[in-house]
Structure 1
């Protein structure tokens, strides 16, 4: 009998995380990026608190665990998510999604550097393909880097993937048990939301709330409810049914969806070289992560 809950969870993760880059691009059209990121995470923390209270699971997690959650939140929400949001003020959603898709390169190289993973010819080939893909991205657009706003957007994107990679490596290195996912998420979302809203008032040159359009506000709420809460729940449900390696395949689908939606809805320019770059990066990441068990059914526990 088919597990329809699993199918729904997988489809949710693939579709929702594939749409977040577009939603961010829509949100930052009239709302300063740090407000988008901060309100998104703070609203997500409120939703998580309601869930925890309804389940009677809300409690103090202790200073040590709180310290871990603050580190995760800083790297993966404040830096990775926050800087991706800031970057999309000047960079297209399709380009942001493609550069973000290359984060496993840094995860792999960082893991090799600290001895968590061994280097291999297969991995070297994958890294080479990824870098070739990144070269294709900037082949014709190198002159665009002369634009300071665009250049800062690209720098923010690379800072974002460095933050995501660092958070992933930190998790691997410490081998921390997930515990109560909802509880940990609440503290992560709350910390990130507060810090990012403070950043919004400090770094936003203008934040006239009257200029915020309904379309941008709706995109921000979508990011919070679906991008931060629903997709994460679906992701962790999928992890209980299939292997992490199999779930990782969703990252490739997310990128394809994000590029397609950017072209379809935002009329973003997609060139042949951009498509070649996407193919090279996705194939490179696949080669780095490939394991035979990716396509095997996981035995029931």
Structure 2
């Protein structure tokens, strides 16, 4: 009975990281129509961080961390959430959610190149094929007429690239940084400090303040879903899976998330799925497969994160 229950938990956890994380692009796209991007991300992660701390206390976990760990969580929170997620949400004002999801699917390519440039890691032949395919996929994705002619879309494309660079460097940083051993506590601190810095960025950029009573029903649903499902349940499921199955199996979300995002964007947001997008998706995801097959990309478990 215990084995059957554990298997069910694994299945539910996989569904969480596949579907919930795949849906965050659509949810952010809906919410950013009425809430300024950095304010939206600040609300999401600050509340999620506070809720995680409440849950941690209820489970008997100590919230105490060292000064060095606090500094490191601030750095990680900035790289992943303030700069990384903040820019990705900002870009959703100008490009489709499915487009952003597909572009972000090339994240392993950025991580691998950064490991090579900053750490001198050797790149396997499989990964070299993946890099070539990844670059080709990004080129195909960026060559679409809709992107070139649509106002602000090209800027959105490059802003997402900046977000990916931040996530990639953050992944390398947390792989060596002294951080709280408990994933729940670690995540809570990163989300709280990252969310507070997003509020500061929102204030500095003089973003308009949108009060919750002025939000439409679909935006309220999107924000609540991003906080509870996207920030807490999915990430908890992610860390649970890392303790139950191989990291390579967990990494399959890299392939599934953009597919889910494309389908949801098409069905709920009327986003177009062009032939060029399909070709770019096939090339990009094939490249990601080859990169994930290369041994040089196997980072420590605590660095295997995604923050969309």
TM-score normalized with structure 2 length: 0.89
Q: Of 43, 54, 63, which aligns to 2:67?
A: 63
C-alpha distance in structure 1 between counterparts of 2:206 and 2:268, whole Å: 27
1:34 correspondence with 2:54:
no
C-alpha distance in structure 1 between counterparts of 2:76 and 2:90, whole Å: 19
C-alpha distance in structure 2 between counterparts of 1:24 and 1:204, whole Å: 20
Partners of 2:69 and 2:178 within 8 A in 1:
no
Partners of 2:94 and 2:151 within 8 A in 1:
no
Q: Tell me which residue corresponds to 2:27.
A: 23
Partners of 1:107 and 1:166 within 8 A in 2:
yes
Cα distance change, pair 228–101 in 1 and its aligned pair in 2 (3 A):
same
- After superposition, where does 1:265-280 map in structure 2 within 5 Å? 265-280=268-283
Shift of 1:184: 1.2
Cα distance change, pair 86–247 in 1 and its aligned pair in 2 (3 A):
same
Shift of 1:175: 6.4
Q: Bigger CA drift: 190-199 or 270-279? A: 190-199
C-alpha distance in structure 1 between counterparts of 2:294 and 2:122, whole Å: 14
Q: Tell me which residue corresponds to 1:217.
A: 220
C-alpha distance in structure 2 between counterparts of 1:29 and 1:290, whole Å: 38
Shift of 1:176: 5.0
1:90 aligns to what SS in structure 2? coil
C-alpha distance in structure 2 between counterparts of 1:140 and 1:55, whole Å: 50
Q: Tell me which residue corresponds to 1:296.
A: none
Consecutive unaligned residues of structure 2, counting only runs of 5 or more, are 296-308
C-alpha distance in structure 2 between counterparts of 1:116 and 1:23, whole Å: 38
Shift of 1:56: 2.6
1:206 correspondence with 2:220:
no
Shift of 1:205: 4.2
Q: Tell me which residue corresponds to 1:171.
A: 174
Partners of 1:49 and 1:58 within 8 A in 2:
no
Consecutive unaligned residues of structure 1, counting only runs of 5 or more, are 293-301
Partners of 2:73 and 2:179 within 8 A in 1:
no
Q: Bigger CA drift: 227-236 or 143-152? A: 143-152
Q: Tell me which residue corresponds to 2:117.
A: 113
2:98 aligns to what SS in structure 1? helix
Equivalent residues, number? 290
